[in-house]
């Protein structure tokens, strides 16, 4: 793989992204640091927040309080493991082409399945996209069958065949 080319395309874009940092969201230096630097490599030791505190020269109380605040404000969903898809269970990406007038209702029905964890509207003929995750493939299929039967809409089932992706977290301010 041409490593040099790969790196350069990313760099080209950095200045453009930096120019649109004028978000109405105001974050402290510690908040930005926790959001950006600890998406991976969270310490696996008895007192992980104390270790982060030591690395950043703040108190353990500050780290825990800041993470609690970020979570309460809806900026952090959780602190913990991200599992590899289809390693801890079975999952698939599915799509439905829903008549516009019925989208909210069908989306709400799909969201009510515990096994559905992501459910988005997308701008396409296939306008509802959702991820179904369960303990095994039979349970995933059961959910898909139920959705197809109940909605009467043709469903695209697009299970993962191969991942090229190395999850390093979400690139903020890159």
Partner 1 sequence: MVLNAQDRELIAAIQGGLPLVAKPYAAIAAQLGLTERQVIARLQVLQAAGLIKRMGVVVRHRALGYRANAMVVWDIPDIEVERIGALLATETCVTLCYQRPRRLPEWRYNLFCMIHGRERNSVLRRLEQIVAFHGLEKIPHTVLFSGRSFKQRGAHYVESSKPPGQLRRSRGQKRSHG
DSSP character at residue 167 = -
Closest distance of CB 128 from partner 1, Å = 8
CB-based contact 29:37 (threshold 8 Å): no
* Residue among 25, 26, 29, 57 that touches partner 1 (CB under 8 A): 25
Contact status: 108 vs partner 1 (CB under 8 A): yes
Closest distance of CB 18 from partner 1, Å = 11
3 state SS of 103: helix
- With CA atoms as reference, report the closest residue to 87 among 1, 4, 167: 167
Contact status: 110 vs partner 1 (CB under 8 A): yes
66, exposed or middle or buried, with CB in 10 Å at 0-12, 13-18, 19+? buried
Q: Which is nearer to partner 1, 29 or 165 (CB)?
A: 165
Contact status: 18 vs partner 1 (CB under 8 A): no
Measured CA to CA, the distance from residue 71 to residue 77 in angstroms comes to 6
* Residue among 48, 56, 62, 148 that touches partner 1 (CB under 8 A): 48
Contact status: 156 vs partner 1 (CB under 8 A): yes
* Residue among 15, 20, 29, 57 that touches partner 1 (CB under 8 A): 20
Read out DSSP for 15-73?
HHHHTT---S----HHHHHHHHH-SS----SS-HHHHHHHHHTS-HHHHHHHHHHHHHT
Q: Which is nearer to partner 1, 57 or 87 (CB)?
A: 87
* Residue among 35, 51, 58, 96 that touches partner 1 (CB under 8 A): 35
Closest distance of CB 76 from partner 1, Å = 6
Site for partner 1 in 116-145 (CB under 8 A): 116-124, 126-131, 133-135, 139-140, 142-143
């Amino acid at each position: 793989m041409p490593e040099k080319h790969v790196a350069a395309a990313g760099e080209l874009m950095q200045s453009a992204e930096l120019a649109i940092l004028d978000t109405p969201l105001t974050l402290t230096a510690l908040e930005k640091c926790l959001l950006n630097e600890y998406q991976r490599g969270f310490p696996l030791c008895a007192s992980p927040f104390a270790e982060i505190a030591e690395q950043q020269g703040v108190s353990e109380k500050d780290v825990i309080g800041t993470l609690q605040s970020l979570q309460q404000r809806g900026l952090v969903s959780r602190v913990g493991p991200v599992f590899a898809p289809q390693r801890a269970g079975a999952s698939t990406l599915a799509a439905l082409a829903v008549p516009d007038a019925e989208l909210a209702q069908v989306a709400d029905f799909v969201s009510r399945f515990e096994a559905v964890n992501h459910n988005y509207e997308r701008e396409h003929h296939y306008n509802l996209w959702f991820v179904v995750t369960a303990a095994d493939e039979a349970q995933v299929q059961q959910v898909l069958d139920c959705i197809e039967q109940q909605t009467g809409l043709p469903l695209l089932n697009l299970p993962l065949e191969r991942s090229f992706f190395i999850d390093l977290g979400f690139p903020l301010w890159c």
